[in-house]
Structure 1
Amino acid sequence: MEEARKLEEGLGNNTTLAKEENNREIISHVAHNKEAIDKSDGRDVDECHDQNAAKNEKAAEETPLVKQKSKRVATLDVFRGLTIVLMILVDDAGGAYSRIDHSPWNGCTLADFVMPFFLFIVGVAIALALKKIPKIKAAVKKIVLRTLKLLFWGILLQGGYSHAPDELLYGVDMKQIRWCGILQRIALVYLVVALIETFTTKHRPAVVESGPISIFTAYRWQWIGGFVSFVIYMITTFTLYVPDWSFVLHYDEGAEKYTVKCGMRGHLGPACNAVGYVDRQVWGVNHLYSQPVWRRLKLSDIRTPSSGRSDLVPCSVRTRRLIEGHSERLKHWVSMGFGLLIIGIILHFTDAIPINKQLYSFSYVCFTAGAAGIVFSGFYIVIDVWGLRTPFLFLEWIGLNAMLVFVMAAQGIFAAFFNGWYYENPNNSIVHWIQKHVFINVWNSERLGTLLYVIFAEITFWGVVAGILHKLGIYWKL
């Protein structure tokens, strides 16, 4: 029970070595005094006991108080690092291997797990981060500040201003800036979920009791928030009327206007779904992602509208919190993970609600959230329960400096810097030379060479860099 209490109150808080040494000294001192009392012959035992008690009390008062440190849950960093690695892999090698790239419409590929994994780990970390802030006002200030930072970096990196790594230019027409990229959507979800966590923490028991419904009763406000989001999304998706709409494609010789005939409700196709309609009304057709993956569909034409996908994420509340004891904690995580996974699979294969990342369908949210919970639980058993941390240090280092690797590697800023130093033409940069001569030409395969370049010249390289920065105690956090 003592260990369980430590896990709950401080993520596995352990008394420091200095504290333990002082406690052992006190215990030894008490034992020595007891021995002196037993050997006393004809002396007043009560008086001797009082004297020794006074000495023990004085020794305890003189014992320096060492502030307990929180033991960081390594699984958090490993899971975050895995997500960053997957993002780099699918973004830079997905063009060579379409099976790992985003599914054009219905279905789920490796790339489709990246965004939900990001949201999952944000939810997991929220309760742990806010636990260190006892005052609500300070917590709200921290949440708002972090949200603004995420929005800023999202717009800068994914709004169209940066053209890294291949195009050596920058700038964006404000008529076409993309308001909702990955970081912007994470920021919005983080804002809602973090505020719910902040204002409900004091109304929740310190220890979640065992029982099949305890996770629901203890976190009822989180479930209410998720249910409200679910209801709004489902009503919007299946009842909102989608009218005809128009778009303009620009060519070198001019521009041409097209009209999409819709006039329907509940359609889940690329052009006439309600989610895309909401995005066009809220953000404007020119401010949405211009290269949606559904353009790879066999029936799609290159002149099809490029704004049918969703840039909004339904705010599914996915916060997690440590529950007393490893077994209780894992029982909740694993049962919830498999439950969501099964719901997503049933909805998809019965054609009730297909798994679809572009729409963030309910089946997609359940399936990917369940998968994230199962993967996280597996990591937790191996790393934090069994203590097998060394094989995953590579991912842990990347997770500790996730923002740095995201910006420099996933967004191509580091490669863009070196691409800017070229000889005669932009294709003669050091980055292009390494990719072509060290990987593609050696293996005589552009697909395999690209994959190996991503694995070794990007992922492995940034894993080593993150490890060095960790040893130096250098971290970039928002």
Structure 2
Amino acid sequence: MDYDAKRVEEGLGHVHKEDISEKADKIEKDESSATPAQSVEQKGEEQPLIKQKSKRVATLDAFRGLTIVLMILVDDAGGSYARIDHSPWNGCTLADFVMPFFLFIVGVAVALALKKIPRISLAVKKISLRTLKLLFWGILLQGGYSHAPDDLSYGVDMKHIRWFGILQRIAVVYFVVALIETLTTKRRPTVIDSGHFSILSAYKWQWIGGFVAFLIYMITTYALYVPDWSFVIDQDHEAKRYTVKCGMRGHLGPACNAVGYVDRQVWGINHLYSQPVWTRLKACTLSSPNSGPFREDAPSWCYAPFEPEGLLSTISAILSGTIGIHYGHVLIHFKGHAERLKQWVSMGIVLLIVAIILHFTDAIPINKQLYSFSYVCFTAGAAGIVLSAFYLVIDVWGFRTPFLFLEWIGMNAMLVFVMAAQGIFAAFINGWYFESSDNSLVHWIQRHVFIDVWHSERLGTLLYVIFAEITFWAVVSGILHKLHIYWKL
């Protein structure tokens, strides 16, 4: 594709009448040589192929960019505003939408990327390689080797390396949903029958895969016996052992749930996340919902590690990717705006209703740490509604310009995740300091340009995150977009 055509595809260029005629002739030739099934699918489109692709990519990149922006906001400002930080246990805050939004958009992207598979073996190879890359980056960035951005040391004691994290969960979910999508390619329909549920039955193998993940999670969560367990932590240079009394099944509290038990047995307690959000519960600290010193009568489990991206909860997270794949299938097979929105919004509303009923009846509380079924439904429903809103505003109404910064960040999601969300760029800048490691450009800007000016640590931190991080990386991503450089998840 030449440069002008690429700009048109991205919605940045202008098409002359001569170009339209040439493209129309080319499309007619392609239709005459296409298979009957392909011709049916092409003739059912209401808009030119190039314009259709442009709008589709813009919406998905804007959604992906929004997810990255939310991650930066809650990671770096959540400490100042506990209400947007992760919920200490049951419930759902702004931070709790980040992970399922990632998995949802991964599913949508998989459906689009694998809608045409010339060779299954080659597709499986590419899926496997990408999974390994995500696992590698996940262990490197979140395993404990990197201490960015404030601690300028590096390295990790292999006795305490964290094996699972954000990218590792994305890798596992991506591998499962992409593999199912690839291996069922020969059973994939070219044209969907009329009917609201025809799209569901047409891709039954994807839903069967999600249902199997659901069964594994639910059976293990409620049937697995969790015995008493103990752990050792260093306090005041002295090793102290704590014991947690359990001996039960189906417990959904912090102490005795099956999710934590599986991780302790598979990874070992030393390899779990050492700063779980449950330490902000009222049972653990009087500063709740903020972080603070432990109560004198705090239960023993308050001191224990817990993996929020653990193995069993990742199996449940496959459902988020499965629902995302469904939204991608709708995008492929339904060509009209109204039909797409009808499918998307209706499923989003149903998922939200199911989640709210399960949560407020105390049947299955919404819980990010356990990645409960109600949490899957609630966050996937919200993702579907947000995607529909983006599609309506950007594609149907044509208001693309206000969301370009999200689109640019979404096009370079992996770069912004590594450099901003994981603090690698800030750590590089902090490495150039004067006399003290606290006397660096990053700390100077945060203190003198934001906190001191507004006379507020909380507000200054929030403004620093918005302007010195999110806005900065939006500009960088925009420049990379102009240079046609992209680094997505």
The TM-score normalised by the length of structure 1 is: 0.85
* Preserved CA contact (<8 Å) 2:117 2:182: no
Question: Following TM superposition, by how much is the alpha carbon of 1:328 offset from its aligned partner in structure 2, in angstroms?
Answer: 1.9
Q: How many Å separate the matches in 2 of 1:338 and 1:259?
A: 43
Cα distance in 1 for residues equivalent to 2:185 and 2:362: 39
**Among 406, 419, 441, the residue aligned to 2:452:** 441
SS state at 1:73 partner: helix
Q: CA deviation at 1:235?
A: 0.7
Q: 1:74 — aligned with what? A: 58
1:306 to partner: Cα distance:
2.6
The residue aligned with 1:306 is 304
Contact 1:82 1:399 in 2 (8 A): yes
Q: Which has the larger radius of gyration?
A: 1
Alpha-carbon distance between aligned partners in 1 of 2:444 and 2:24, rounded to the nearest angstrom: 63
Per mean C-alpha deviation after superposition, the further-off stretch among 129-138 and 155-164 is 129-138
One-letter code of the match for 1:253? Answer: H
1:356 to 2:367 alignment: yes
- Please tell me whether the aligned partners of residues 309 and 359 of structure 1 are also in contact (alpha carbons under 8 angstroms): no
Residue 6 of structure 1 is matched in structure 2 by none
Determine the structure 1 residue equivalent to 2:396.
385
C-alpha offsets along residues 226-284 of structure 1, whole Å, 9 cap, x if unaligned?
11111111111111100001100112331011111100011111010011101111111
1:328 to 339, 344, 348: 339
Amino acid in the other structure paired with 2:224: L
4+ runs of 1 displaced by more than 4 Å?
16-19, 23-26, 67-70
Measure the CA separation in 2 of the matches of 1:347 and 1:398: 35
Query: Aligned-pair distance for 1:467?
Result: 0.4
Q: CA RMSD in A?
A: 2.1
Q: Give the Cα–Cα distance (whole angstroms) in 2 for the partners of residues 340 and 461 of structure 1.
A: 36
2-structure distance, mates of 1:23, 1:87: 41
Gaps of 5+ in 2: 1-8, 27-48, 286-293, 295-299
1:23–1:162 CA distance, 2 compared to 1 (3 A): closer
In 1: Cα distance, 2:353 partner to 2:68 partner: 26
Are 1:184 and 2:168 counterparts?
yes
Matched to 2:410, the amino acid is G
Which letter maps to 1:227? F
Change beyond 3 A, Cα 1:178–1:280: same
Question: C-alpha offsets along residues 294-336 of structure 1, whole Å, 9 cap, x if unaligned?
Answer: 1100102646343345423122122132222222222111111
- Paired position in structure 1 for 2:157: 173
Alignment of 1:124 with 2:122, yes or no, is no
- The equivalent of 1:470 in structure 2 is 481
Distance 2:202 2:236 in 1: 60
Identify the residue that residue 426 of structure 2 maps to in structure 1: 415
Count of residues paired in the alignment:
426
Amino acid at match of 1:349: F
Partner residue, 1:231: 215
Q: 1:140 matched to which residue of 2?
A: 124
Alignment of 1:444-455 (within 5 A): 444-455=455-466
Aligned partners of 1:102 and 1:109 also within 8 Å: yes
Letter matched to residue 483 of structure 2: L
Q: Contact (CA 8 Å) 1:289, 1:306: kept in 2 or not?
A: no
> How far off is 1:344 after superposition?
0.4
2:238 and 2:462 map into 1 onto residues whose CA distance is 39
One-letter identity of the residue aligned with 1:257? R
In the alignment, residue 21 of structure 1 is paired with which amino acid? S
Change (3 A) 1:228 1:11: farther
> Which of 355, 358, 377 pairs up with 1:347?
358
- Give the conservation status (yes or no) of the 8 Å contact 2:273–2:306: no
Distance in 2 (alpha carbons) for counterparts of 1:108 and 1:337: 17
Identity of aligned residues (%): 76
Q: Aligned pair in 2 of structure 1 residues 24, 165: CA closer, same or farther (>3 Å)?
A: closer
For 1:439 and 1:226, locate their aligned partners in 2 and report how far apart those are by CA, in whole Å: 46
Instruction: Show structure 1 runs of 5+ residues with no match.
Output: 1-9, 27-66
Alpha-carbon shift at residue 24 of structure 1 (Å): 7.7
For 2:255, which of 264, 271, 283 is the aligned residue?
Answer: 271
* Partners of 1:272 and 1:308 within 8 A in 2: no
Q: Write the deviation string for residues 109-135 of structure 1: whole angstroms up to 9, x where unpaired.
A: 000000000000000000111235421
Instruction: Quote how far apart the aligned CAs of 1:415 are.
Output: 0.3
How far is the alpha carbon of 1:68 from its aligned partner?
A: 7.4
Which residue in 2 is equivalent to 1:201?
185
Task: Give CA deviations for 1:127-151 in whole Å, capped at 9, x if unaligned.
Answer: 1112354211111011001000100
2:183 and 2:151 map into 1 onto residues whose CA distance is: 45
Distance 1:19 1:392 in 2: 28
Aligned partners of 2:98 and 2:425: how far apart in 1? 21
